[in-house]
Structure 1
Amino acid sequence: MSRRVEQKKAARVVREQLARERRRQRTLWTSVIAAVALVLAGLIGWTVYQTQRSDGYTAPAAAVADDTGIASGDGPVTVDLYADFLCPACRQFEEQVGPTLDQLVDDGSITLVFHPVAILDRLSSTAYSTRAAAASGCAADGGTFHEYAAALYEQQPAEGGPGLTDEQLIEIGTGVGLDATSFGQCVQDGTYHSWPEHVTEQASRAGVTGTPTVLVAGERVTNSADAIVAAVEAAG
């Protein structure tokens, strides 16, 4: 009788050990599956983010290779100008330094790449920075980006308000020679509305923290005509 009891006890111990092992295995596999699921979810989320943030935009055909700006001229030294159409300091820069940049483009010294960022949307009730930058993309399609950008600064609205309406943006375009029908349709359809976000994101990755920002041959310079000319001569 005693031997039978001992056998039952031994069998129970074995069953308990097997049960514990099965529970351990189930816990292990559950953890592995959960970890794999998290990794897959992260990869899917990153893919969606990249698609939405980096590839989910339409850029003007005239945009530079990385779709971050519009180039003027074909000189040997590249000058990158990052500006927001709602930025008062950018308007002042256009007034004071713009003619010098125009001269450098005209005499073949530089290739000027204008990057229309939209960092001041928060200072407009209608996301004016984005709308104006998108409209400049439409102007690029018509071959008058530079003229249109200058005209936008001439009629720059005050910060904190709604900014110019789409109708006003279209009127400015026709004033610099753009076709009212094709240009107007591009603006009204918001054809390039997603483009400024891409430009702004890439500017941030490049270390641009404010506007206007000027780079000559990849190096940041002071926002003055003399400093830019000196940097261009040194780089050339």
Structure 2
Amino acid sequence: MSKADRDRTAKARKIIEQQRAAERRRKVTIWTSVAVVAVLLIAGFIGYATVSGRDQGKLVIPGAAVDEGTAFAVGSGPVTVDLYEDFMCPNCKNFEATSGATLRQLAGSNKITLRYHVVSILDRYSNGTRYSTRSAAAAAAAAEDGKFTELHDALYANQPAEGSTGLSTATIVELARSAGLTSDRFVAAVEDGTYEPWVTKATDTFSARGFTGTPSIAVNGKQLTGPDDTVPGIDLITQTIDRAAG
């Protein structure tokens, strides 16, 4: 074999080895990618099961709940005002800012029974963290410690934006602590999602009663709306309360 032939053979052998090495690298890359995807899928499934599965737990109805176990009452007046809210709802925060104090005052003077219904119709706006459900469940736990309104107000004062991940469970616990909720029972209920199935039940009741959005207000069982089905202002609400009181 001439030197030229040997050179061509060596060059061909080198090319073949390079191709084989490239093929080995390609296979390693493919299998690595497959392994990464598999790990992500498994992790995602576990995460989904952990989050979504909490709603499938045991239904625990808060002892403080009224109205078929779906609400928390302030005051004991002759006229009942039902307020349906979602802690992720910006309109609910606006309603609380404009009307909440007056309703709380009427309840405090026992002119009305103000019943708060916390529901979770906006979970889809918290990037999979189910903030509406978690915050409502925390409020239920607060009610069991006699501090529903304290956490209710703190959650609205620190309301996350729609489309965000919402407040973490740890942040909710910290907010609650600043509102005077420090019991181990409360913290455990929030971290374990004890009342999350209850929130689902309360939301189902909300829908079954014909409500479709938050905030929704009813006076003595009759839904009250403003012009063109808008959220009623406090003047209309108080006028309706006065008429109902006779």
- Tell me which of 86, 109, 112 is aligned to 2:111: 109
Is the contact between residue 74 and residue 104 of structure 2 (CA under 8 Å) also seen in structure 1? Answer: no
- Look up the match of 1:231: 240
Q: How many pairs were matched up?
A: 183
Does residue 174 of the first structure (1) align with residue 177 of the second (2)?
Answer: yes
2:167 aligns with 164
Percent identity reads 45
Give the 5 Å matches for 1:195-210. Answer: 195-210=198-213
2:141 aligns with one of 138, 142, 145: 138
Distance in 2, Cα, partners of 1:165 & 1:157:
10
Amino acid at match of 1:74: S
Partner amino acid, structure 1, of 2:96:
E
Matched with 1:218 is 221
Q: How far apart are the structure 1 equivalents of 2:122 and 2:58?
A: 21
Per-residue deviation at 1:65? 4.1
Q: Is the 8 A contact 1:170 1:180 kept in 2?
A: no
Runs of 4+ aligned structure 1 residues displaced above 6 Å come to none
**What CA distance in whole angstroms lies between the structure 2 residues aligned with 1:214 and 1:71?**
14
Q: CA deviation at 1:56?
A: 5.6
How far the C-alpha of 1:181 sits from its partner, in A, is 2.4
Structure 1 vs Structure 2 CA RMSD: 1.5
Aligned partners of 2:84 and 2:119 also within 8 Å:
yes
SS in 1 for 2:196: coil
The answer as to whether partners of 2:75 and 2:109 remain within 8 angstroms in 1 is no
2:97 and 2:59 map into 1 onto residues whose CA distance is 31
Q: For 2:206 and 2:103, locate their aligned partners in 1 and report how far apart those are by CA, in whole Å.
A: 20
Q: Which blocks of at least 5 consecutive residues in structure 2 are unaligned?
A: 1-54, 226-231
Q: Which runs of 5+ in 1 are unaligned?
A: 1-52
SS at match of 2:62: coil
TM-score, normalised relative to structure 1: 0.75
